[in-house]
C-alpha cells in the first residue's frame, strides 16, 4: 500500500539530509558567500566632484537669507502656492519615501499655502493627530478614572466597506457614555474645522469605498480615540507630489537626503552615501561604488587622529532642535487608499454616519541636527566605514552642514517654527578638538575613534535606578520610561547586547495585574544596569574589512547531539585551484542530561545559538578586534541573535551572552543565513561517513575547547551563569 503523501515527502527530506555531497558543492556556496562578504568592505568616501553636488543641497548663506525672506512672505498675501508639478517648489516622491524628513505637520502657514480650501485643517495635528492606526487624544478631554485590567480593546472593527455599516448595530462593547463622548467630540470637531459632516451613508460619493470606525477606550487615565485612519488626507495628493519649497527645506534640514533624491545631476547610487533611514530601519544603507580616495586610506590606518582631517576651520558649530510632539503624525507613503472618512455611531438616531477628515499632513524635520564634525564621523559610520551598532543615532536623521553656519541655520530654523507656532527646544552640541558630546553620548575624534556615555548621563541613570530600587515599586509607565532611556544609552554603546538584560522591564510594561512591586528578576535587572552603567568602557569604532567567515551548526537525535563550527579565512581562498586553504574546525558532543530541563526535550534551536557562542569562545583570540560574518542554517537562532530579543528565555540568554562576549573582545559580528544543505559545518555534526567526507575534502586543523571553556559552556546550557535569573525568570 502506498504511503500517504505527507510521509513520502518526509522520507524524501530525510533521505536528502543523508546525502553525502561532493566537496565542490560546498566550495561553490562558500565562494558565493565570499562574494557577498566582499560587498561588506568599507566603502570609499564620496568623490570630490560629487561632494560639490552634495554641498549644493545644504544650507548656505544664500539659501538661509532666501528662506528668511520667504518666512516674511508667509504672513503676506503675495506668496502664491505652486501651480503645477513643474514648479521648482515641488518635490517628486515616486516610489521612495521622503528621507530626511520625519513626517511632521507644518501646521497653519503651510496649511494656508498648500491646502487653502480649509484654513483650519492644521488644528487636527495640534490636537494630537491621527497616528497610523494608533490613538487620538484631544487635549481638552479631562482626566477620568484610571485604566483597569478590564479595559481592553476588543472587537475593534478595522476599515470596512461603506455598505457594511448600513445595517451594523451600535458597538456593544462600548459603554453608552463612551458612545456619547465619541459623538459629542466629532460634532465639536466639525465646529472647529477638524471634520466635515455628518453625512448619511447613502449620500456618500461612489469614490468613498471604505470607512474607518471611530471608537474610544480608557487608556492612561483618559479616553483615547481609535481612528485607525492611515488613509486620511488623500485629497491632498501627498502620496504623489510633496509641495516642498527649497528655501524651507534649507531651513528645516540638517539632513540633505530629500534634496539629494531630487537632484537630477547626482548619480542615484551616490545618493545612498548620504541618504539614511530613521532609527527603525532594519538593514544598513548601501554605499556607492566610488574609487578609493586618500581620505579613506588614511582612515584605515590604526590610531589615526580623525579630528585633524575632518575640518581645518576653527569655527565648528552644533545645535539640536528638538521639536515638540514630533511623532503625532501620519507617515507619507505611496499607496494610501482613497478614504479620509470615519464612521461614528449616532446615539440619538441609532445609526452610523460618516465624517470627512480635513487636515494637511506634510513632511518636515524632527529633532533637526546641525553640525559638522560629528556628522561626517557618523556619516562614515552609517556607510560602513566604521563598524558600529545600527542602533546608534543622533536623533532621527543626520548629515552635515558647512562649518560656521550652525548658529545662523539654527536661528533661521527657530524663526520658522516660531512663525508656524510649533514648540521646540534647543540643545547645544559640546564640540572640541578632541570630542563631540550630543544627547548624552561622547564621540571621541582623537586617536582611535570611540563612543561612550557621558559622565553626566551615567550619573543621572544611576541615580534614577537607585531611586526606583529604593521604592520597591515600578508601574508599567515607569518601566516604559526606564526601558526607553536605558535601551538608547546602553544599547548604543554595547551593540544592543544588554537588551535581553532589560527584558524584565519590557515584561512589566505590559503587565495587567495590580501588583507592581519589584519581583526578583526585576530587582536583579535594575541592580545589574545600575552597576554596569558606571563601568561601561568606550565603544571603539573599528575600521577593517571582513576577515573571517564562521559557519556553525548543531544536530540532535534521540537524546544526543553534536555541535560544530568551521572558520574560513577569505585571504587563503584560491578560486583557481578550488581550494579554501587551511580552515579551522571544532566539535562538541552533548546529551540530554547536559541541558536545562526547559530545553532538553526540543533543544535544536537553543543548540544552534549555543554553537555560535562556542565559536566565539574557541576562536576569540583570532576574532578579537575584527569584523566577521557568522552563517547559521537555523532561522530561529539567527533571528534571535540578530534581534537580541526572544519570547523564549533560553534564546534571550543565548543572545545576551553572544553579544556580551563579542563586545568584551571588540568583535564586530554580522549574522546571516545559509541553506542547511550548503552549510559546511553540517558535515562534522552528522554520522561518521559524512564527517569522514569532511576530513578527506578539506585541509583543516581541529581546535579543542579548553577546560575553562568547556566548564563555561556546560554551565551555560544548564543556565548556571551570571544574570540567568534575570533572563530566564522574568
pLDDT for 419-431, tens place per residue? 655 566 666 556 5
Placement of cell 507613503 in the chain: 333
Which set of grid coordinates corresponds to residue 532?
Answer: 554596569
Task: Report the domain count for the chain.
Answer: 3
**Confidence class for position 590, pLDDT limits 50, 70, 90:** very high
Task: Count Cβ atoms below 10 Å from residue 547 Cβ, excluding itself.
Answer: 17
Of 540, 566, 581, which residue sits at a domain end?
540
Write phi, then psi, for 501 (nearest 5 degrees).
-70, -30
- For residues 555 and 510, state if they share a domain: no
pLDDT digits (tens, 9 = 90+) for 364-394: 222 333 333 343 344 333 333 333 322 222 3
Cα(654)–Cα(554) distance, integer angstroms: 14
234 and 103 part of one domain: yes
Q: How far apart are CA 590 and CA 593, in angstroms?
A: 8
**Strand runs labelled E in 434-540:** 435-438, 441-444, 450-453, 539-540
Strand partners, 33: none
Query: Which band of pLDDT confidence, cut at 50, 70 and 90, is reported for residue 255?
Result: very low
* φ, ψ dihedrals at 333, nearest 5°: -135, 150
Cα 642 to Cα 654: distance, rounded to the nearest angstrom? 11
- CB under 8 Å to 671, separation ≥6 — which residues? 629, 630, 632, 638, 641, 642
Q: What pLDDT is recorded for position 469?
A: 87
Distances (CA, A) of 692 to 94, 586, 654: 56, 14, 31
Residue 373 lies inside a defined structural domain of this protein: no
Range with lowest mean pLDDT among 144-158, 220-234, 617-631 = 220-234
Q: Which of 525, 470, 538, 535 is nearest to 498 (CA)?
A: 525
Element (H, E) at 356: strand 351-357
Of 484, 517, 540, the one marking the end of a domain is 540
In a domain, 405, yes or no: no
Residues 680 and 561 in one domain: yes
pLDDT of residue 340: 60
Q: Are residue 599 and residue 481 in the same domain, yes or no?
A: no
Inform me whether the pLDDT recorded for 470 exceeds 80.
yes
Three cell numbers written together for 643? 534581534
Within-domain flag for 382 = no
Rounded to an integer, the average pLDDT of 62-74 is 60
Segment 495-507 mean pLDDT: 68
Beta strands in 379-440 (DSSP E): 424-428, 430-431, 435-438
Looking at the structure, tell me whether residues 533 and 558 fall in a common domain.
no
216 and 193 in a single domain? The answer is: yes
Please state the rounded mean pLDDT for residues 628-637. 85
| Count of C-beta atoms within a 10 Å radius of residue 394 | 23
pLDDT digits (tens, 9 = 90+) for 605-615: 899 999 999 99
Residue 311's pLDDT band, with cuts at 50, 70 and 90, is very low
Q: Is residue 421 part of a domain?
A: no
- For residue 95, what pLDDT band results from cuts at 50, 70 and 90? very low
Residue 198: cis peptide before it, omega within 30 degrees of 0: yes
pTM score? 0.51
pLDDT bucket at 407, cuts 50 / 70 / 90: low
Cα distances from 522 to residues 435, 656, 725, in angstroms, run 36, 16, 10
Does residue 330 share a domain with residue 470? no
Please check whether residue 340 lies inside any domain of the structure: yes
pLDDT of residue 619: 93
Could you tell me if residue 442 is inside a domain? no
pLDDT of residue 21: 57
Question: Hey, how many other C-beta atoms are within 10 angstroms of the C-beta on 472?
Answer: 10
Q: Are residues 505 and 574 in the same domain?
A: no
**677-704, pLDDT tens digit by residue?**
778 888 888 877 778 888 888 888 888 8
Separation between Cα atoms, residue 163 and residue 170, nearest integer Å: 15
Mean pLDDT for the chain? 61
Q: Of all residues in the chain, what percent carry a pLDDT higher than 90?
A: 5
For position 27, which CATH number holds? Answer: 3.30.420.10
Task: Give the bridge partners for 562, in sequence order.
Answer: 555, 589
User: Do 583 and 507 reside in the same domain of the chain?
Assistant: no
> Between residues 541 and 184, which one has the greater pLDDT?
184
Last residue of a domain, one of 513, 540, 567: 540
Question: Which pLDDT does position 186 carry in this prediction?
Answer: 80
The answer to whether residues 557 and 477 belong to one domain is no
Mean predicted confidence (pLDDT) in 474-499 = 71
pLDDT value at residue 681 = 84
Q: What is the predicted pLDDT for the residue at 651? A: 81
| All cell numbers assigned to 139 | 487635549
33 and 70 assigned to the same domain: no
Q: How many C-beta atoms surround the C-beta of residue 427 within 10 A? A: 15
All 3 cell numbers of residue 291? 574609487
Strand, coil or helix: what is 725?
A: helix
Task: With respect to residue 10, please indicate whether it lies within any of the assigned structural domains.
Answer: no
Of the listed ranges 96-105, 302-311, 547-556, 684-693, the least confidently predicted one is 96-105
Q: Grid coordinates standing for 423?
A: 514648540
> What is 431-443 written as a DSSP string?
E-SSEEEETTEEE
Q: Name the strand (E) or helix (H) holding 218.
A: strand 215-219
Inside any domain, residue 633? yes
Q: Please say whether the beta carbons of 443 and 377 come within 8 A.
A: yes
Pairing of strands 215-219, 424-428: unpaired
317-365 per-position pLDDT tens digit: 455 556 554 433 332 222 233 446 778 889 999 899 988 765 422 222 2
pLDDT at 422: 57
Report the distance separating Cα 6 and Cα 413, nearest Å.
65
pLDDT in tens, 106-149: 344 444 544 455 555 444 333 222 222 222 222 222 333 333 33
Model confidence over 637-649: pLDDT tens digits? Answer: 887 776 555 567 7
In this predicted structure, the answer to whether residue 562 has a pLDDT above a threshold of 70 is: yes
pLDDT at residue number 586: 92
Q: How many CA atoms lie within 13 A of 611 on its CB side?
A: 37
The reply to whether 494 and 553 lie within a common domain is no
Q: Could you tell me the residue range of the domain that residue 151 belongs to?
A: 61-312+324-364
Tell me the backbone φ, ψ of residue 74, rounded to 5 degrees.
-60, -30
- Bridge-based pairing of strands 341-346 and 351-357 is antiparallel
Do 388 and 627 touch, CB atoms closer than 8 A?
Answer: no
Amino acid at each position: 500500500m502506498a504511503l500517504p503523501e505527507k510521509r513520502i515527502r518526509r522520507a524524501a527530506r530525510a533521505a536528502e539530509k543523508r546525502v553525502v555531497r561532493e566537496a565542490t558543492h560546498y566550495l561553490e556556496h562558500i565562494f558565493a558567500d565570499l562574494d557577498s562578504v566582499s560587498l561588506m568592505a568599507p566603502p570609499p568616501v564620496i568623490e570630490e566632484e560629487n561632494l560639490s553636488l552634495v554641498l549644493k543641497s545644504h544650507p548656505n548663506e544664500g539659501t538661509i537669507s532666501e528662506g528668511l525672506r520667504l518666512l516674511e512672505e508667509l504672513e503676506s498675501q503675495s506668496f502664491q502656492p505652486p501651480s503645477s508639478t513643474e514648479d521648482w517648489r515641488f518635490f517628486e516622491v515616486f516610489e521612495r519615501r521622503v528621507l530626511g524628513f520625519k513626517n511632521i505637520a507644518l501646521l497653519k502657514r503651510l496649511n494656508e499655502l498648500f491646502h487653502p480650501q480649509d484654513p483650519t485643517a492644521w488644528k487636527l495635528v495640534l490636537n494630537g493627530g491621527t497616528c497610523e492606526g494608533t490613538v487620538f487624544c484631544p487635549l481638552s478631554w479631562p482626566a477620568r478614572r484610571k485604566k483597569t485590567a478590564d479595559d481592553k480593546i476588543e472587537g475593534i472593527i478595522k476599515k470596512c466597506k461603506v455598505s457594511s455599516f448600513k445595517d451594523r448595530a451600535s458597538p456593544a462593547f462600548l459603554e453608552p457614555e463612551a458612545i456619547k463622548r465619541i459623538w459629542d467630540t466629532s460634532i465639536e470637531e466639525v465646529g472647529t474645522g477638524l471634520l466635515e459632516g455628518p453625512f448619511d451613508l447613502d449620500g456618500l460619493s461612489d469614490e468613498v469605498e471604505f470607512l474607518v470606525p471611530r471608537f474610544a477606550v480608557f487608556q492612561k487615565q483618559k479616553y483615547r480615540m481609535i481612528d485607525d485612519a492611515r488613509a486620511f488626507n488623500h485629497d491632498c495628493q501627498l502620496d504623489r507630489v510633496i509641495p516642498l519649497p527649497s528655501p524651507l527645506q534649507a531651513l528645516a534640514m540638517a539632513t540633505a537626503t530629500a534634496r539629494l533624491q531630487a537632484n537630477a545631476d547626482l548619480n542615484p547610487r551616490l545618493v545612498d552615501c548620504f541618504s539614511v533611514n530613521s532609527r527603525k530601519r532594519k538593514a544598513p544603507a548601501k554605499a556607492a561604488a566610488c574609487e578609493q580616495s586618500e581620505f579613506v586610506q588614511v582612515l584605515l590606518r590604526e590610531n589615526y587622529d580623525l579630528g585633524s582631517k575632518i575640518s581645518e576651520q576653527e569655527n565648528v558649530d552644533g545645535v539640536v532642535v528638538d521639536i515638540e510632539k514630533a511623532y503625532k503624525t501620519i507617515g507619507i507613503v505611496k499607496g494610501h487608499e482613497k478614504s479620509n472618512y470615519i464612521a461614528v455611531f449616532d446615539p440619538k438616531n441609532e445609526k452610523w454616519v460618516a465624517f470627512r477628515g480635513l487636515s494637511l499632513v506634510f513632511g518636515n524635520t524632527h529633532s533637526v541636527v546641525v553640525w559638522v564634525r560629528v556628522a561626517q564621523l557618523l556619516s562614515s559610520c552609517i556607510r560602513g566605514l566604521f563598524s558600529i551598532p545600527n542602533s546608534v543615532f543622533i536623533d532621527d536623521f543626520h548629515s552635515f552642514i558647512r562649518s560656521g553656519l550652525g548658529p545662523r541655520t539654527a536661528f533661521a530654523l527657530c524663526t520658522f517654527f516660531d512663525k508656524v507656532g510649533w514648540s521646540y527646544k534647543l540643545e547645544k552640541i559640546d564640540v572640541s578638538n578632541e570630542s563631540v558630546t550630543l544627547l548624552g553620548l561622547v564621540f571621541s575624534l582623537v586617536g582611535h575613534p570611540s563612543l561612550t556615555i557621558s559622565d553626566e548621563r551615567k550619573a543621572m541613570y544611576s541615580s534614577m535606578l537607585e531611586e526606583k530600587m529604593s521604592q520597591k515599586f515600578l508601574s508599567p509607565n515607569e518601566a516604559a520610561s526606564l526601558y526607553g532611556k536605558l535601551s538608547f544609552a546602553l544599547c548604543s554603546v554595547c551593540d544592543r547586547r544588554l537588551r535581553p538584560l532589560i527584558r524584565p522591564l519590557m515584561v512589566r510594561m505590559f503587565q495587567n495585574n495590580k501588583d507592581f512591586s519589584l519581583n526578583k528578576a526585576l530587582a536583579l535587572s535594575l541592580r545589574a544596569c545600575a552597576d554596569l552603567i558606571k563601568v561601561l568602557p568606550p565603544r571603539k569604532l573599528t575600521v577593517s574589512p571582513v576577515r573571517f567567515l564562521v559557519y556553525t551548526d548543531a544536530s540532535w537525535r534521540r537524546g544526543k547531539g553534536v555541535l560544530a563550527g568551521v572558520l574560513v579565512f577569505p585571504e587563503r581562498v584560491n578560486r583557481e585551484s578550488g581550494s579554501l586553504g587551511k580552515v579551522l574546525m571544532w566539535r562538541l558532543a552533548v546529551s540530554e542530561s547536559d541541558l536545562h530541563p526547559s530545553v532538553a526535550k526540543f533543544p535544536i534551536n537553543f543548540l544552534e545559538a549555543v554553537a555560535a557562542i562556542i565559536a566565539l569562545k574557541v576562536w576569540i583570540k583570532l576574532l578579537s578586534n575584527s569584523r566577521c560574518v557568522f552563517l547559521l542554517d537555523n532561522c530561529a537562532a539567527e533571528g534571535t541573535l540578530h534581534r537580541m530579543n526572544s519570547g523564549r528565555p533560553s534564546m534571550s540568554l543565548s543572545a545576551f551572552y553572544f553579544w556580551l562576549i563579542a563586545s568584551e573582545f571588540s568583535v564586530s559580528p554580522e549574522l546571516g543565513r545559509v541553506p542547511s544543505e550548503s552549510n559546511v559545518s553540517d558535515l562534522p555534526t552528522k554520522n561518521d561517513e559524512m564527517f569522514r567526507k569532511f576530513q578527506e575534502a578539506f585541509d583543516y586543523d581541529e581546535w579543542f575547547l579548553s577546560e575553562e571553556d568547556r566548564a563555561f559552556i556546560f554551565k551555560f546550557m544548564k543556565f548556571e551563569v551570571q544574570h540567568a535569573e534575570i533572563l530566564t525568570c522574568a
